[in-house]
Amino acid sequence: MSSPPPGTVETARFGPETAAHVRAFFGTEPTPLVPLRGSAAAWRLAGVYIKDESKRLGQQAFKVFGGAYGMACWMSKNLGVELQSCGGIEGLRKTYLEKKGGVPTTFVTCTDGNHGRAVAWAAKQLGQKAVVYMPKGSAQARVDHITGHGAECTVTEMNYDDCVKFAAEKAKQNGWVYFQDTTGPDYFEIPGWIMQGYTAMADEAIEQIKQLDEGALPTHVLLQVGVGSMAGAVLGYLVERFRQEGLPVPVAMMLEPENAACAYESAKKGDGSTVDVEGDLESMIAGLCCGVLSDIGWPILWKHVDGAFVKIADGLAGNGMRLLKSEGVEAGECGGAGVGFVRRLMLAPADDKKAAELRRGLGLGPESRVLIFNTEGATDPANYEKQLQLPDVPAAAHDFEFVLRRLPETATSEPLAEMLKVQA
């Protein structure tokens, strides 16, 4: 873990003011917020809300706001001008190319799909070039989305984390801008900007829930974790917003696939340091197959997750994809994972002590309103079609594991050791 410069991991960077800048920069309509009324009733919850990022700028994932906002921040800094005065995407593109004699800058990144597509889209809109590397086994459809925006894309023989290092090397060799959505040694500025781009969806979601249900606010939030940039940014936003309004910050559930559960393992270790997960990181939930946490995302999660770190079996993501399809929402693997897990938790068999313990620990019940981000649509159409044909996977003893972590200020008067309880 490398040490971020002072201020880098402060939630204030990700609050409502930042979200307002991001929303103004893009100037687009919010993505839909879909209430799952039937599921909420069946799961004995007051509300379940899906923020549907499959509809974000036609790019099927929230990542596009991060990639494009981050690239815009880099370009405006390079020009020495305030981003807010650049006239949005079109204005920035024109000014940059004018100042650079029409010569675009090359941005290089590694991706398991959505971030690379975001960078390719951003480069195209902003008049720049993108070079993208992908880990072995990446789906052809995800490659096609990237090359479809005119970017160069290569599928390597490496796992995600090695591929990230490879992209950094390529940048050095070629004088390109290394443009990653996670941190590295002395590399914090760009991932911080990308994270700021993610705050907009949280801002939209809170407004939409309030409007939909007469001022209601989420009591719980579920966030998927790959490197933890998205979860750190959204949680950072929620901490800032709810504290500014004097309200209790939603109880947070962090979700990972069981074979790439670096946040879960780090939380289980319990001293604030990170644990890397190595190997193939094999899971169909491709967007979350990361074994090394962001040095901006993790400190925010460690300090502010008042809830639980959870790892799940892939089958629960498939259940969620089918459930959302039946509600008219297109959900890829990452999106389905959140709903599939909440359903598993709320519809657990009566003798499922583990689920009961987690529900109790999180205070999940009839008063709870749960916000879940459908972070992607069918970004791998072949697997999407396959999953839709499969039957639901029944609850199993080890289809999820958790570390409960309630913060001292919100937990009951139990001793600290009890509050930071690790499930065996």
Binding residues (CB under 6 A) for ligand PLP: these are 61, 63, 112, 114-115, 181, 224-231, 287-288, 290, 334, 375-376
Q: Would you say 92 or 286 has its CB closer to ligand PLP?
A: 286
Q: Which residues contact 331 (CB under 8 A, 6 or more apart)?
A: 54, 320, 321, 324, 325, 339, 374, 376, 377, 378
| CA-angle at 142, arms to 137 and 148, nearest 5° | 140
Best CA proximity match to 179, nearest among 170, 191, 195: 191
Q: Would you say 201 or 395 has its CB closer to ligand PLP?
A: 201
Q: Would you say 317 or 411 has its CB closer to ligand PLP?
A: 317
Contact call for residues 410 and 388 (beta carbons, < 8 A): no
Measured from the CB of residue 181, what is the shortest distance to ligand PLP in angstroms? 6
The amino acid at 54: S
**What are the catalytic residues?**
63, 112
Cross-strand bridge partners of residue 35: 49
Q: Would you say 278 or 418 has its CB closer to ligand PLP?
A: 278
Distance CA 235, CA 252 (A): 8
Cβ atoms within 10 Å of 408's Cβ, excluding its own: 11
Q: Would you say 86 or 233 has its CB closer to ligand PLP?
A: 233
Measured from the CB of residue 190, what is the shortest distance to ligand PLP in angstroms? 13
Q: Would you say 66 or 127 has its CB closer to ligand PLP?
A: 66
Phi, psi for residue 179 in degrees, rounded to 5: -130, 85
* End-to-end Cα spacing for the chain: 27
Measured from the CB of residue 266, what is the shortest distance to ligand PLP in angstroms? 13
Contact call for residues 255 and 263 (beta carbons, < 8 A): no
Query: Using CA atoms in the order 88, 90, 96, 102, what is the torsion angle rounded to 10 degrees?
Result: 170
Measured from the CB of residue 305, what is the shortest distance to ligand PLP in angstroms? 13
Q: Which residues contact 385 (CB under 8 A, 6 or more apart)?
A: none
Q: What are the structure tokens assigned to 278, written together?
A: 């190595």
Measured from the CB of residue 407, what is the shortest distance to ligand PLP in angstroms? 21
Measured from the CB of residue 376, what is the shortest distance to ligand PLP in angstroms? 3
Distance CA 126, CA 79 (A): 14
Question: What does the DSSP 8-state code read for residue 86?
Answer: S
Q: Would you say 159 or 224 has its CB closer to ligand PLP?
A: 224
Angle, helix 353-362 to helix 333-346, in steps of 10 degrees: 100
Distance CA 35, CA 147 (A): 35
Contact call for residues 320 and 337 (beta carbons, < 8 A): yes
Measured from the CB of residue 114, what is the shortest distance to ligand PLP in angstroms? 4
